[in-house]
Amino acid sequence: MPPEEQTTQNPKTVALLGAGGTMGRGMGVNLAAAGFGVRAWNRTADKIGDLADRDGVEVCESPREAAAGADVVLTMLSDGDAVLAAVEGADGALADARADSIWLQASTIGLEATARCAELAAEAGVILVDAPVLGTKKPAEEGQLVILGSGPEQAREQLQPLFDAIGKRTLWAGEAGAGSRLKVAVNSWIVSVVEGTAEMLALAEAVGIDPRMTLDAVADGPLDLPYMRLKAKAMLEGDFTPSFRLSLAAKDAGLALDAAEQAGLALPMLEAIRERMDAVAEEHGDEDLAAVYLASSANA
């Protein structure tokens, strides 16, 4: 029976691959709190931390072990290579995944890797739901992620309790793959806001204006953005404690450019932002993406 025609009960057990990551750990806590059984795996096991002590959480030694018997395999990893490494091969999650299970791919991996995931899901006979998320560490911990879901309609219904546990809102984009296409478009805006904020503050400093006055100038108007203010505060205070690492933001900008190239679209502003983020990430990649400000400000 083709995966899109299969039916399953609402999921009870989730294999969480990436349970020790910035996003994955918070998602695991919320899944366990909602009553799901969580079979947790992380490449560096000690990063799982006290998630391992939660009721309903079992730490597994391999993706294959985590996926065995699980209703849902949830991948929340840093990039496409990490996702594919976790599901392919003898120790990969798809080796023992049930034929009626759902692969919920929530990482931001771009279009090419998502297409490869679709091929692997079809080969394994599992249902692929492509559902990258919007949010960083704090929203993941608070169950406030926005889920950009795509896949078979019946899988959407089955996964709703899981989505409710980790997110505040689910936007369904269509067939599997549409979620990742939506995510690259939204990510182009996110990195544009951060770089634009950095350059606005740096220019104000350079011409002798208190950069905080730029925020006052746009306050409560159509140009004001909570995210801009959040990143501006980090830039002005020099506090780049990561909620989302600059290296990952640079990766996301690159995935958006790859998608644009595939579509025959030239995006010169995004290209410049990606180059700037790549350059700063060489030294500050593990800091928050607000650290891109260091490339613009003469006072940083």
Nearest to 20 by CA among 38, 3, 37, 43: 43
Q: pTM for this one? A: 0.93
What pLDDT is recorded for position 191? 98
Q: How far apart are CA 13 and CA 62, in angstroms?
A: 16
Which ranges constitute the DSSP H helices of 9-62?
24-33
Q: How far apart are CA 220 and CA 167, in angstroms?
A: 27
What pLDDT is recorded for position 179? 98
Structure tokens at 290: 């607000």
Which residue shows structure tokens 């030239």? 266
Describe the chain by its helix, strand, coil percentages, rounded to 5.
Answer: 55, 15, 30
SS3 208: coil
What pLDDT is recorded for position 98? 87
pLDDT (tens, 9 = 90+) of the chain, 300 residues, equals 444 444 446 789 999 999 999 999 999 999 999 999 999 999 999 999 999 999 999 999 999 999 998 999 999 999 999 999 999 999 999 998 888 899 999 999 999 999 999 999 999 999 999 999 999 999 999 999 999 999 999 999 999 999 999 999 999 999 999 999 999 999 999 999 999 999 999 999 999 999 999 999 999 999 999 999 999 999 999 999 999 999 999 999 999 999 999 999 999 999 999 999 999 999 999 999 999 999 999 876
The amino acid that residue 158 corresponds to is: Q
What pLDDT is recorded for position 3? 44
What pLDDT is recorded for position 300? 67
SS3 94: helix
Do residues 261 and 285 touch, judged by C-beta distance below 8 A? no
Q: How far apart are CA 37 and CA 40, in angstroms?
A: 9
Which helix (H) or strand (E) segment holds residue 248: the answer is: helix 246-262
The amino acid that residue 135 corresponds to is: G
What pLDDT is recorded for position 9? 63
φ, ψ (nearest 5 deg) of residue 147: -100, 125
What pLDDT is recorded for position 212? 98
Angle at the Cα of 272 from the Cα atoms of 270 and 274, rounded to 5 degrees: 70
Domains of the chain: 3-175 (3.40.50.720), 181-295 (1.10.1040.10)
Do residues 18 and 31 touch, judged by C-beta distance below 8 A? no
